[in-house]
Structure 1
Amino acid sequence: MNPNVEQIARRAATACLDKKATDVVVMNVQELTPLADYFVICSASSRPQVEAVARAVRDDLAELGVTCRGIEGLDEARWVLLDFGDVVVHVFRPEEREFYHLERLWGDAEWIPIEAN
């Protein structure tokens, strides 16, 4: 079975939670932008955790057959963006997340509830 886009976003969020990312949010932005259908946004407290979360998301989605089209920001590991086409994952250090505040910028988006394991 091929996962639908929402399932991919949920799996990415679960991978974030599995690596102890905090404040994990899934936003349906398909009515607001042509950039993606879903944004997954989370916070990680340190460089190693940002890197671990990004790796976990990439590896978990690869198991579903979803290829990461690009990764930006891994060198600095303050805001890492993983592009999976219809799903874009943002892994922030808390300071950067507060500064860029994507949740406010895309405030009209529908939020998809994610259950912590």
Structure 2
Amino acid sequence: MTKNIPSADELITFTINGIEDVKGQNITILDLRAIENTVCDYFIICDGTSNTQVNAIVSSIQKKVSKNTKDKPWHVEGSENGEWVLMDYVHVVVHVFQKHIREYYDIENLWGDAKITEIETSY
């Protein structure tokens, strides 16, 4: 029996839905496909207002992706402190930050050659 692997578009859609469900902020997609030697195709970056919200965002993403695709992250890192949690879905890597940590690491600038899409939220 082969595992049905979700497409990057499906992962992006359900990840953003999971972020929005718990009012994650400043959602950004970095398309890395045109850059050589990247570890994945997309980064999805967002922030929460506290370690509690960061962990709620991570949990919401995992539930939404799992429910709709039966997929789980290959690796999750940083959930112990809830300042920066990385979720690796192989082709899509999700970064959930507290705002001040996101500003400090400034991933969008580090990957300045990526195509950047900002997601508008209605809250």
Structure 2 length-normalised TM:
0.86
Task: Give the root-mean-square deviation of aligned CA atoms.
Answer: 1.8
* Amino-acid identity (%): 30
Q: Which amino acid aligns with 1:60?
A: K
1:18-97 to 2 correspondences below 5 Å: 18-32=21-35, 33-63=37-67, 64-97=69-102
Unaligned runs of 5+ in 1: none
Query: SS of the residue aligned with 1:95?
Result: helix
Query: SS of the residue aligned with 2:26?
Result: strand
Q: CA deviation at 1:20?
A: 0.7
Q: CA deviation at 1:8?
A: 1.1
C-alpha deviations, 1:64-111, integer Å up to 9, x for none?
122211110011110000011101000000111000000111111112
Mean Cα displacement is larger for which, 13-22 or 50-59?
A: 13-22
Does the aligned pair in 2 maintain the 1:17–1:116 contact within 8 Å? yes
Deviating above 4 A after TM superposition, structure 1's stretches of 4 or more consecutive aligned residues are: none
Unaligned runs of 5+ in 2: none
Could you tell me how far apart the structure 2 residues matched to 1:48 and 1:59 are? 16
